[in-house]
Amino acid sequence: MSKISTSKLIPAAVTIVLIGTLAAFYFFNSSFHDFANEGWKVLTSENQDKIQAWVKELSFWGPIIILAGFIIQMFAFVIPSWLLMVVSILAYGPWKGSLLAITGVLLASVLAYGIGNYLSEYTLQKLLGKKSEKKMKSYLEQYGFWIIAIFRFAPFLSNDTISFVAGLSSMRFWKFVAATTIGILPLIGFIAYLGDSTDRLKTGFIWASAVCLVGFGLYICWDQKKQKA
């Protein structure tokens, strides 16, 4: 078992404190509790008019709350990042909403990369699970740039897990940012195009994830055969 320095645990400690603070506000502050419940109910309602009206009431705080949501969802895995992208576009339209979604994804990804870069492998295994961390790291070492891009484009894959592991790996920061941007732009464009229809959006997500997984699986088979040859 590797020894963990105190400085390596600072990001994890700060994260625990922030999450603990939010949890304390949720359970012990009735106003925050009601606001959080109302927000969750509205943002998951898939009702565009209702979402737009609620966000409009927040005024200046609307985009800030959505950006904060992208950061929180890194640790609250029950909140998928694609849901926040959909909310951004439904609330602010295809152009402003897409810009907000891209900003949120990059902000969360860079933060996750920084945390992964700062923590030890032992600590990251405790956070993500040893098997998951090892598998992600193995794929990153073999396929680097494109595995990041594929995970960004496929809505149902774990975007945040791979960001943590990318920070731990030898992948350079700007290469990671470029791969994230290249992968996420088509997905956000896809959401902006299909965002007015929930049924089309769900079907599109399934197809996008399936195509990415099958395509990547075929590439891995081809690459392994090439290496053996």
Note the pLDDT tens digit of each residue in 79-127.
677 778 888 887 788 888 889 989 999 988 888 888 877 776 666 666 6
Judge whether 33 lies within some domain.
yes
Judge whether 1 lies within some domain.
no
- Residue 11 confidence (pLDDT): 53
Q: Which tokens sit at 57? A: 């009431």
Higher pLDDT among residues 133 and 27, named by residue: 27
Q: What is the pTM of this model?
A: 0.74
Judge whether 91 lies within some domain.
yes
Please, are residues 124 and 165 in contact by the beta-carbon 8 Å criterion?
A: yes
Query: 137-145 — which CB contacts under 8 Å span 24+ positions?
Result: 137/165, 137/168, 137/169, 140/165, 140/166, 140/169, 140/171, 141/169, 141/170, 142/223, 143/220, 144/171, 144/175, 144/179, 145/175, 145/178, 145/179
Judge whether 80 lies within some domain.
yes
The parent domain of residue 172 ranges over: 7-228
Number of domains the chain is built from: 1
- Residue 1 confidence (pLDDT): 41
**How much helix, strand and coil, in percent to the nearest 5, is found in the chain?**
85, 0, 15
Please tell me the least confidently modeled range out of 28-32, 172-176, 219-223: 219-223
- Residue 103 confidence (pLDDT): 92
Please, are residues 184 and 149 in contact by the beta-carbon 8 Å criterion?
A: no
Residues contacting residue 108 through CB under 8 Å, at least 6 positions apart = 70, 71, 73, 74, 81, 160, 163
Judge whether 2 lies within some domain.
no
C-alpha triplet 190, 192, 196: angle, nearest 5°? 110
Judge whether 212 lies within some domain.
yes
Note the pLDDT tens digit of each residue in 196-208.
666 666 677 777 7
> Does the pLDDT of residue 9 top 60, yes or no?
no
Judge whether 208 lies within some domain.
yes
Most confident of 117-131, 142-156, 168-182: 168-182
Please tell me the least confidently modeled range out of 36-40, 154-158, 167-171, 219-223: 154-158
> Does the pLDDT of residue 10 top 80, yes or no?
no
- Residue 2 confidence (pLDDT): 44
Judge whether 120 lies within some domain.
yes
